[in-house]
Amino acid sequence: MTMIMKDVILANEYSTAYFPKDTVRKDKMLANQELLDGIFEIHHVTREEFKNSLHFYESRPDLNKKIFDSLTAFANRHKTELYLPKLPPVKPVPAVAK
């Protein structure tokens, strides 16, 4: 569940940051749903299974805390990677012969 939650949170942040502000709300919601569907497919769960698991963990604060502690630890370990802009790779410049 921790890995799915990480991906869901990152997808929501992505849609907030990268979908244009002037995009129609319906379009944003559809794009976000498509991101979530991709996440569920990667993790081999259905939307319904995810919702059921989410409700279970919300009803168990002790287990929910472990998930969010893990997410916090992951975010702290990868803070610089998560917040840096993705730049295209730089091609090495060949040395000039003298």
Q: Where are the domains of the chain?
A: 2-83
> Sorting pLDDT into bands at 50, 70 and 90, what band is 22?
low
The C-alpha atoms of residue 10 and residue 69 are separated, in whole angstroms, by 16
| Upper half-sphere CA count for residue 56 (Cβ side, 13 Å) | 9
Q: Is the pLDDT of residue 15 over 90?
A: no
| CA dist., res. 29 & res. 24, Å (int) | 9
State pTM to two decimals.
0.68
CB 28 within 8 A of CB 19: yes
**Sorting pLDDT into bands at 50, 70 and 90, what band is 64?**
very high
What confidence score (pLDDT) does residue 86 get? Answer: 65
Are the beta carbons of 47 and 53 closer than 8 angstroms?
no
